[in-house]
Amino acid sequence: MARLDLAGRGTHLKIDTDHLWGMESDLTDMTAAKAQGKWIDGFGAETPLSEAARIVLDIRLRAVERMLPLAARRAADDLEYVHQLRVATRRSAAALQIFRSSLPPKEHRKVARSLKRLRRAAGLARECDVQKLILEAERGTVDPPVARSLDGVLRGIEKERRRAQKTIRKMARRYPVASLKKRRKRLVRAIDSRPAMLRDAARDTMPALIEALRQVASTDLTVLDNLHTMRITGKRLRYAMEVFAPCFDDDFRDTYGRVESLQEQLGDVNDCHELLLRVDRWAVNAPKRESSDPRAAQDYYRNRLNACVDAFLHDWTSGARDRLFETLARLSPDGERRPRAGAVVEIEAAPTDAPTSSAGDAG
């Protein structure tokens, strides 16, 4: 059951999206929407880097191929299609970056460019979907002046969402599945065979990503731009951890969970910020016939954002930061949890071109 968590005034707003959507999707459609989950089966720490690259890129790019037609044609049936398309493009782009040294520059650029366009198209639609769910849930709980403003904001979201769906359909026409499959196969065939193992890539990649997160975490986190940078930096680390999971010991999942929790908290802050920006834009561009005063809604969501940031900073400075970096330090090659030679983890099976059952993912 999908939920949206939005921190506010010291609490979390939990929205049961299955209930809000008012639909029960066909089981096959829902498992297709979940696409491939976080983890990939079929390789270990001593797997040659080229072989690991073929496995990971093939799986990640197949998920994009599977989700694009569903997001383009059936988004009205289930909002998860757009969400999972966005997640699939992000994971694919992360895999491209991890294995970039093994890829021909020309093929890398082509695939990276297409993923960026698809991610942006899905991102615009997903933002509208999330904000609509949140505002519809809150409209009946806020004061009347705020509720009247939300009616106007929701009309703007619905209009923008229709435009975003047209963009997704345009991208689906520009990148038909047959074309995406050809690009994937061409990319996978062109992977350069090198003597390095997956654990070597983990030792080269993970410390730099951890250090990047440490550096941004040392900036002034009362500045929203720094929190945004921290969220993106943490996301890159998390997607890399999913690829390198076979290289680490069993406690790795606990460390991954801490990074994921950080992402969820920063995602709450981002949702609050985006909602305030949405209300501010509506206040500037609202038609003159609007009778509601936007200042009540602006004050409400500004207070919500401040409370959300305060809640994160309180948790972060009360031990979450130290606990996170203590566990991350042990993931580095020189720490106690250095990548293990020959380690293989039992994780979810790789998908085929046809939809398969797999666990959902918030991305």
Question: Do 58 and 103 meet the contact criterion of CB atoms below 8 Å apart?
Answer: no
CATH number at residue 108: 1.40.20.10
Flag whether the pTM goes above 0.95: no
| Mean predicted confidence (pLDDT) in 233-249 | 94
Q: Return the closest-CA partner of residue 302 out of 8, 2, 3.
A: 8
Residue 352 lies in a domain: no
Q: How many other C-beta atoms lie within 10 A of the C-beta of residue 193? A: 12
Range of the domain at 308: 37-329
Residue 20, domain member (yes or no): no
- Residue with more model confidence, 110 or 18: 110
Is 43 part of a structural domain of the chain? Answer: yes
Q: How far apart are CA 195 and CA 123, in angstroms?
A: 38
342: left (phi over 0), alpha (psi -120 to 50) or beta: left
- Predicted local confidence at residue 331, as pLDDT: 79
**HSE (CB half, 13 Å, CA atoms) of 319?**
0
Q: What is the pLDDT of residues 272-295, one digit of tens each?
A: 999 999 999 998 887 665 566 788
> Does residue 319 form part of some domain?
yes
What was the pLDDT predicted at 7? Answer: 41
360 within some domain: no
The predicted pLDDT at position 46 comes to 93
Whether 72 is covered by a domain: the verdict is yes
Q: What is the count of structural domains for the chain? A: 1
Indicate the average pLDDT of the chain.
83
Kindly state whether residue 47 falls inside one of the protein's structural domains: yes
Q: Is pLDDT larger for residue 292 or for residue 208?
A: 208
Domain-embedded: residue 19: no
